[in-house]
Amino acid sequence: MIEFLDVSLPVIVYVPLALLTIPAIKAARKRGKWKNILNFCWFLAVFTIAGATVANLALKYYSKQTPQPFLNLSLIEGSSAIFSSMFLVDAVSIYMVIIFTMVGAVAFIYSLFYIDFNEKFSERYYALMLMIIGCVIGTALAGDLLTLFIFWEATAAGSSFLMLYQKTAESLHATLKYLVMIVIASAFIIYGLSVIYALTGTLNFWAVKHALISLADKHLLEIAFIFIAAGYSIEAAVVPFHMWLPDAYTAAPASSSAFLSALVDQGSYYVLLRVLIYILTPQTVLPWTSMFAVLSALTMVIGNLLALTERNIKRLFAYVCIADVGYNLMAITSVTPLGITGNLYFFLAGGIATALSFMAVGIFNSKGFKTLNDFSGVGRKMPLTSLALTVATFSFIGVPAFAGFMAKYLVFTSAIEGNLSWLAVIGVLTSIIQAAYLLRLISYMYSKKISEENVKIEEPKKLLIPIFILAGAIIALGVYPEAVLCLIEPVIQQFPFMP
């Protein structure tokens, strides 16, 4: 039986871990040449503990396949439970927690070496990063709209510090933009939530859903939906609310961009998925599909066109993130089991690929290669990093034998299945644009032949470890996607039983 503690442990374990990280890394830094090994040991300790709590939860959930696969666990038992904070465990949240922990670990070890290597040093950065991982996991496990809101806003607030880290004028400006957007978004969401609470008298996912299905007059719900949808769309950077993302990701240090794109971005898609499909289910509660289909098309087209004209490589990958939002939205809009499979697979494949590209671009940036023209010939100067970036780009393009292919395939197929063939065609056409600008980057990287002044540049070996873990994962997933799809399969089986 899963207790409340089992569910909350993966979240709260990060509080002591984050607090201990500051003295631990400070102590390690004084040890001179042992520093890296000690840092690495601390990293192992942190993620062994965190991983153990996740494994405990997952094993307990899957060991006993109860007839009701959606487990609601509240802080207060009894009749007032419906008003308390709630956790929800189902196959989706378990899956999200697992991938957040794994991708978070790789992003963490990259920043451990990267910040040390490039930036002004501060231990608080790592503590903050761990707190954010905890908050994202809390978001994935949340069982009522308020808990979801609290954890998600905490994630967003924490993210702003990661963006701010370099404290340059540019990053201050970008963070300010982000914070303003986030504050507006949370105001919208709070307003929407209060309307929903007034309508239903509860904020628990299933209670809300049941109350809404039997709701006679849906005008008020539509207003609430507009606010909530706008709020979460701002945080997920859906076009036309995307303006903060390129600035924020470009201004942040590469380790932050990698972390944010791999965890926080995917978290925002998760929130959209949970709220739109599981609570505001189109068939029974609210027909919102056409609206989000248009937003998805806009996001794909604008995101990819902006990337096509962009010459700053880091910013280009930020636009790729926006395009990814569009592809994710397409699968959400289809509201099919296949679409959810596609989404969940995309969270991992897209998260890994964006993280990998930001990590590799971070190394290039630190050597002074920033724009497309700088990148000409880097394939010969820094072969390993270039290889990793090439793997990431092929995954984005959606070439088979790379993880991104299966993600795109599932997304397009689900759109056809959900009677949105026109959206699938737009997706395919924008995917060609994506192939064009990413391939242009590869052509720049490799086309210039090696010459006298074109000598090899030493690549930071330590940073290549996490990079090649992710590159290996992309190829492994590409060749054998079943490894992850089998984790997602229970979700499909649960889909028709959704309460």
Partner 1 sequence: MQNTLLLTLLLPTLATPIVYLLGKKSARASSFLIAFICIVDIVLLFTLVPKIFSADHKYVESYYWIQVLHASFTLFVDGISFSMAVITLILILTAAIFSINYMQERRGLAEYYALLMLLSVGLVGVFITSNLMLFYFCWELMLLPSYFIIGEWGYREPYRAAFKFFIFTHAGAVFVLLGIGAIFMVTGGLDMFQAQTALMNADPELAKWILLSLTIGFAVKMAVVPVHMWLPDAHSEAPAPMSALLSGVIIGAGAYAILRVSLLTVFPAVSATGFGKLFLHGLTVFGVISAFFGSLIALVETDIKRIIAYSSIAHMGYVLFGLSFFPSQEPIIGTVLHLVNHAVSKGLLFLSAGAVMKQLEIRDIREMGGLAGKMPITAIASTIAAFSIAGIPSFACFISEFLIFVGAFQTINFDNFYITPIVLMLIATVLSLAYALRFLSHVFLGSARHEKATDAPSFMKSAMIILAILVIVLGVWPTFFIQLITTVSLVQ
Give contact residues for partner 1 (rule: CB under 8 A).
Answer: 341, 394, 397-401, 405-406, 408-409, 412-413, 416-417, 421, 424-425, 428, 431-432, 435-436, 439-440, 443, 446-447, 481-482, 485-486, 488-489, 492
3-state secondary structure 197-261: HHHHCCCEHHHHHHHHHCCCCCHHHHHHHHHHHHHHHHHHCCCCCCCHHHHHHHHCCHHHHHHHH
Q: How far is the CB of 58 from partner 1 (least distance, A)?
A: 19
Which C-beta is closer to partner 1: that of 3 or that of 482?
482
Which C-beta is closer to partner 1: that of 44 or that of 439?
439
Which C-beta is closer to partner 1: that of 224 or that of 491?
491
Which C-beta is closer to partner 1: that of 49 or that of 416?
416
Query: How far from the centroid of its chain's Cα atoms is residue 174's Cα?
Result: 19
Q: How far is the CB of 400 from partner 1 (least distance, A)?
A: 4
Which C-beta is closer to partner 1: that of 261 or that of 357?
357
Which residue shows structure tokens 């898609």?
269
C-alpha–C-alpha distance, residues 13 and 7, integer Å: 11
Helices and strands, number each (H, E), in the chain: 21, 2
Q: How far is the CB of 383 from partner 1 (least distance, A)?
A: 10
Which C-beta is closer to partner 1: that of 53 or that of 393?
393
State residue 218 phi and psi, 5-degree precision: -100, 10
Q: How far is the CB of 318 from partner 1 (least distance, A)?
A: 23
C-alpha–C-alpha distance, residues 178 and 188, integer Å: 15
Q: How far is the CB of 499 from partner 1 (least distance, A)?
A: 23
Cis bond upstream, residue 240 (ω within 30): yes
Which C-beta is closer to partner 1: that of 143 or that of 379?
379
Which C-beta is closer to partner 1: that of 374 or that of 489?
489
C-alpha–C-alpha distance, residues 133 and 126, integer Å: 11
Q: How far is the CB of 337 from partner 1 (least distance, A)?
A: 10
344, with CB counted inside 10 A (0-12, 13-18, 19+), is buried
Which C-beta is closer to partner 1: that of 357 or that of 430?
430
Cα torsion 418, 421, 425, 427 to 10°: value is: -20
Q: How far is the CB of 420 from partner 1 (least distance, A)?
A: 11
C-alpha–C-alpha distance, residues 200 and 368, integer Å: 56
C-alpha–C-alpha distance, residues 288 and 149, integer Å: 21
Q: How far is the CB of 407 from partner 1 (least distance, A)?
A: 12
* Helix (H) or strand (E) segment spanning residue 74: strand 71-74
Q: How far is the CB of 495 from partner 1 (least distance, A)?
A: 13
Name the H helices within 68-168.
91-118, 124-141, 145-164
